[in-house]
């Protein structure tokens, strides 16, 4: 399905009359790789026909396969939410959900969950309690403690794969440095990340041997976590690429910790991680946490850049994306200074408790005395987060990204 036909299908699914069940209106939510239609008590997700290098949804068969993967994988942490994969058919130039005609698309069918039950909403309104955070910790510990499953590829989660994933973020965004974000901070984060990987390869190898690399969630964020009916449900795991999901549990947890930092709730992140460490006895978790949070912040920066280039981005969304790009780069910088500082004999720490950058605010400044052996470490006492001037995001080329 080309983008023209895809947009016609989106227009059809935006109408309440499209659905065979009651739907007063339809809300549409969009990510860089999908569109979600909230219709009555149900939700339907379409995968965009994209090839971004790290995912390929360009054929109908591929989209059906990954819809099925999404159902199977997400039932691990939300067994009653994901209902199945449904066909979208075309007959006489009219689209039908599970209706007559030729199958032209597939959608993931889900229960619609109330947004006020998300961790994200609870944090905004002050409605999250420590017992809920401990319940979340318990669910994640049980999830990571399940019997191991054979990885589809032998090197998933190894030092080489982690290094490749990390470098991919930098390669796919390097042409945007100086255009959408501060090139100096970007280069600092890249140098620090590669130096950490080089210094700590034995630790990454140890994590593989000790069974800490497993089939995880891959996209743990506060908006994906629901507290309902005295249960915790986690939706929307990574289904489109094994190497983003088969990973160290520390990387999986770091995504959520970084997201909580970005929302200004570092205290909640620390409570969650402390409880998980207490239950698992994982002594190396905090050694890797800063690096993985930095990596995850760069993932979110890349995602925001990809979305910024898509043709249907509105002016308000453009402004929000600019803020996100700045926030995630400043977060990554703070983490990089932290884990580089600990490695060369001085303490920088993670981001201060409850002081992570909020949307529209700069992350800093931080100035640390340092005398490490590398050029990066020797110069880090001069480094400060720098906020680029406000400007409208331009359509720029992202290597491996969607094309206009």
Residue 95: both structure tokens together: 């689209």
**pLDDT digits 0-9 by tens, 240-281:** 988 889 999 999 999 999 999 999 999 999 999 999 999 999
Is residue 214 a contact partner of residue 249, using CB atoms and an 8 Å limit? yes
Q: What does the pLDDT average to over 305-323?
A: 88
In this structure, are residues 324 and 306 in contact, taking their beta carbons and an 8 Å threshold? no
Residue-averaged pLDDT of the chain = 85
- Per-residue CA distances from 374 to 120, 182, 196, 378 (Å): 40, 22, 12, 6
Query: CATH 3.90.1200.10 in the chain, residues?
Result: 122-382
- pTM of the shown model: 0.82
What is the distance, to the nearest Å, from the Cα of residue 325 to the centroid of all Cα atoms in its chain? 13
Identify the band that residue 296 occupies on the pLDDT scale cut at 50, 70 and 90. very high
Strands 231-234 and 225-228, bridge-based pairing: antiparallel
Question: Per-residue pLDDT averaged across 77-95, rounded?
Answer: 96
pLDDT at 367 over 50: no
What does the block give as tokens for 152?
Answer: 């589809």
The pLDDT, as a whole number, for residue 178 is: 87
- Sorting pLDDT into bands at 50, 70 and 90, what band is 209? very high
User: In the predicted model, what is the mean pLDDT of residues 326-345?
Assistant: 83
pLDDT the model gives residue 117: 97
Strand ranges in 285-324 using DSSP code E only, listed in sequence order: none
Q: Which residues contact 4 (CB under 8 A, 6 or more apart)?
A: none
Weakest-pLDDT range from 111-125, 222-236, 307-321: 307-321
DSSP 3-state of 234: strand
Please tell me the CATH code under which domain 122-382 is placed: 3.90.1200.10
CB distance 261 to 331 below 8 Å: yes
State pLDDT tens for residues 36-63. 999 999 999 999 999 988 899 999 999 9
How long a stretch of residues is the chain? Answer: 404
Per-residue pLDDT band at 283 (split at 50, 70, 90): confident
pLDDT at 90: 95
For residue 373, pLDDT over 60 is answered with: no
Q: Cβ distance 157 to 248 under 8 Å?
A: yes
pLDDT-based confidence at 307, cuts 50/70/90?
A: confident
What's the CA angle centered on 193, arms 187 and 194, to 5 degrees? 90
Would you state the CATH architecture of domain 3-112? Answer: 2-Layer Sandwich (3.30)
Residue 302's nearest CA partner among 398, 184, 179 is 398
Q: Which contiguous run of DSSP H or E holds residue 215?
A: strand 213-215
Residue intervals in the chain for CATH 3.30.200: 3-112
Please give the helix or strand (H or E) that residue 108 lies within, else none.
Answer: strand 102-111
Percent of residues, the chain, with pLDDT higher than 90? 71
Residues 337 and 366: beta-carbon distance below 8 Å: yes
Residue 355 has pLDDT above 50, yes or no: no
Residue of higher predicted confidence among 42 and 100 = 42
Q: Output 99 or 228, whichever has higher pLDDT.
A: 228
| 8-state DSSP, 50 | -
Q: Is the peptide bond before 43 cis (omega within 30 degrees of 0)?
A: no
């Amino acid at each position: 399905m080309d983008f023209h036909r895809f947009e016609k299908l989106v227009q059809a699914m935006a109408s309440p009359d499209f659905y065979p069940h009651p739907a007063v209106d339809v809300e549409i939510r969009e990510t860089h790789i999908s569109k979600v239609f909230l219709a009555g008590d149900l939700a339907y997700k379409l995968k965009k026909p994209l090839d971004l290098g790290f995912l390929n949804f360009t054929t109908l068969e591929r989209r059906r396969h990954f819809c099925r993967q999404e159902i199977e994988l997400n039932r691990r942490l939300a067994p009653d939410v994901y209902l199945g994969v449904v066909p979208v058919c075309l007959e006489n130039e009219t689209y039908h959900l599970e209706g007559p005609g030729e199958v032209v698309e597939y959608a993931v069918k889900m229960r619609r969950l109330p947004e006020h039950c998300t961790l994200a909403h609870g944090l905004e309104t002050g409605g999250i309690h420590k017992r809920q955070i401990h319940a979340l910790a318990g669910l994640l510990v049980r999830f990571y403690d399940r019997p191991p499953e054979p990885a589809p590829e032998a090197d998933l989660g190894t030092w080489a794969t982690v290094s490749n994933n990390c470098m991919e973020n930098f390669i796919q965004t390097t042409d945007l440095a100086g255009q959408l974000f501060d090139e100096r901070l970007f280069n600092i984060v890249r140098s620090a990340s590669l130096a950490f990987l080089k210094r700590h390869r034995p630790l990454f190898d140890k994590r593989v041997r000790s069974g800490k690399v497993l089939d995880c969630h891959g996209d743990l964020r506060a908006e994906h976590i629901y507290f309902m009916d005295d249960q915790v449900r986690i939706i929307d795991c990574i289904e489109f690429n094994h190497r983003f999901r088969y990973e160290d549990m520390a990387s999986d947890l770091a995504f959520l910790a970084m997201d909580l930092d970005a929302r200004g709730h570092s205290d909640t992140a620390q409570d969650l991680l402390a409880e998980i460490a207490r239950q698992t006895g994982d002594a190396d978790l905090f050694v890797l946490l800063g690096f993985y949070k930095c990596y995850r912040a760069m993932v979110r920066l890349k995602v925001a850049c990809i979305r910024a280039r898509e043709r249907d981005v509105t002016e308000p969304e453009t402004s929000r994306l600019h803020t996100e790009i700045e926030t995630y780069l400043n977060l990554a910088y703070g983490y990089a200074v932290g884990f580089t500082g600990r490695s060369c004999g001085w303490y920088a720490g993670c981001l201060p408790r409850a002081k992570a950058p909020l949307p529209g605010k700069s992350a800093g400044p931080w100035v640390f005395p340092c005398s490490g052996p590398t050029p990066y470490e020797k110069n880090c006492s001069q480094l400060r987060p720098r906020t680029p001037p406000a400007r409208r995001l331009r359509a720029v080329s992202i290597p491996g990204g969607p094309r206009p």
